[in-house]
Structure 1
């Protein structure tokens, strides 16, 4: 299998500390995908990660560039981080990478979007994937406003399709999650929801899949690591297998 391209999951945190008139600042860089990358590596799947701050200059801009990867995973990276290019910042035409991704999937590519504060529409509505070409090829539709749901009480995943190969071999039950993006499952014959969570809004898709043209797309509407994934989840014996099976299904290996 060719490497998986993971876009996103990095962030900087800047803090200020005031001690009377003296104010100091500090900054740290974090990668929220460390557990995910380890889980895929345990199943022999190589991940090439492009942090959100690098997507503008490094995310592929051609079909050939995308085809170097077996699948693309967008996780906690907003639409603008992919739409901006060095050329557009200089006022010149450039490629629309969201349309490029849709065409790539239609022609046989594999696309996954994982949840987070900057996925789907996002916690403040800033991810802005609603109405884009990427949304068009996903198995779900984005709501128009902020879609982040915090659930400190925990949400228990419910399996809808027990016989699907993505869920094969998992130890049950699936541990609880602490939040997710609220999305609407498409009512298409090519779309299936495998797992959902229940909340005030009814049943919310957690894991949905779609056959789109010659390719496949998948959404996992919670984090691939903390904090929306509980510690019980990231330490669960089925974590590595579930994450690997998502990629294997996308790439038609199961």
Structure 2
């Protein structure tokens, strides 16, 4: 089984003032290391296109996406996919969010994961609100900054423990340290599998939907650090839960 992961790479530049001198260093980080390794152990082959490469390398058509049974978009914003090299040069081209919608409707599986650049985003800059990707999700994005930091930890409630995504996964889930606020699509098209209670409200953590011939998952927190706590990443069932989501997306559950 083949999975395409888009995003989860970060370039950081740090400046340190030492007296009158300023030293600058740069680092490149892959936030999906644990995710990729866990899925490999579950027999799922991950092809990752880092966020820095998505504008040029993310597939432009259904034929290219059809190589994969599922696609995960994680911590890379809508503009990175919308502003293609052709668009940047002022030429008419492809809307890859429309391609992703068509991919789902034709039978593909799409998961949107949370993070600072997930859904609408911590600063409102991920911008999946009112897009073709939002059309197929089991949730609606909020039209403003949707990220919340909860350093004391959030405890998820599993609402449908008998669902195949929780096969072999015994709760409770380890704590998470933040998530994106989302509006569950309560029109009968979707199922809410897990939620977190915070400041008097219940927020969707894991929701699923059958749309067209395909399936979608909204996972409202990170697939790796920092919103996934170290307790979650070291949890023996972390890989099983992530793999179950992908297998369900691909129609294998």
Give the TM-score category using the shorter length. Answer: over 0.9
What SS class does the counterpart of residue 10 from structure 2 fall into? strand
Which residues in structure 2 correspond to 1:23-102 (within 5 Å)?
A: 23-102=22-101
Name the residue aligned to 2:155: 156
Displacement of 1:201 after TM fit?
5.1
Indicate the RMSD between aligned Cα atoms, in angstroms.
Answer: 0.8
In the alignment, the residues of structure 1 paired with residue 187 and residue 70 of structure 2 have an alpha-carbon distance, to the nearest angstrom, of 23
Name the residue aligned to 1:21: 20
Tell which deviates more after alignment, 200-209 or 23-32: 200-209
In the alignment, the residues of structure 1 paired with residue 44 and residue 55 of structure 2 have an alpha-carbon distance, to the nearest angstrom, of 25
In the alignment, the residues of structure 1 paired with residue 42 and residue 55 of structure 2 have an alpha-carbon distance, to the nearest angstrom, of 30
Question: Which structure 1 residue ranges, 4+ long, deviate > 3 Å from structure 2?
Answer: none
Displacement of 1:156 after TM fit?
0.3
Name the residue aligned to 2:240: 241
What SS class does the counterpart of residue 14 from structure 1 fall into? strand
Which residues in structure 2 correspond to 1:104-253 (within 5 Å)?
A: 104-200=103-199, 202-253=201-252
What SS class does the counterpart of residue 56 from structure 1 fall into? helix
In the alignment, the residues of structure 1 paired with residue 99 and residue 226 of structure 2 have an alpha-carbon distance, to the nearest angstrom, of 31
What SS class does the counterpart of residue 64 from structure 1 fall into? helix
**Equivalent pair of 2:158/2:171 in contact (CA under 8 Å):** no
What SS class does the counterpart of residue 126 from structure 1 fall into? coil
Displacement of 1:190 after TM fit?
2.1
What SS class does the counterpart of residue 81 from structure 1 fall into? helix
In the alignment, the residues of structure 2 paired with residue 66 and residue 172 of structure 1 have an alpha-carbon distance, to the nearest angstrom, of 34
Compute the TM-score of the two structures, normalised by the length of structure 2: 0.98
What SS class does the counterpart of residue 117 from structure 2 fall into? coil
In the alignment, the residues of structure 2 paired with residue 173 and residue 17 of structure 1 have an alpha-carbon distance, to the nearest angstrom, of 42
**Equivalent pair of 1:171/1:237 in contact (CA under 8 Å):** no
In the alignment, the residues of structure 2 paired with residue 101 and residue 7 of structure 1 have an alpha-carbon distance, to the nearest angstrom, of 12
Q: How many residues align?
A: 253
Displacement of 1:17 after TM fit?
1.1
In the alignment, the residues of structure 1 paired with residue 238 and residue 184 of structure 2 have an alpha-carbon distance, to the nearest angstrom, of 24
- Which structure 1 segments of 5+ residues have no match? none
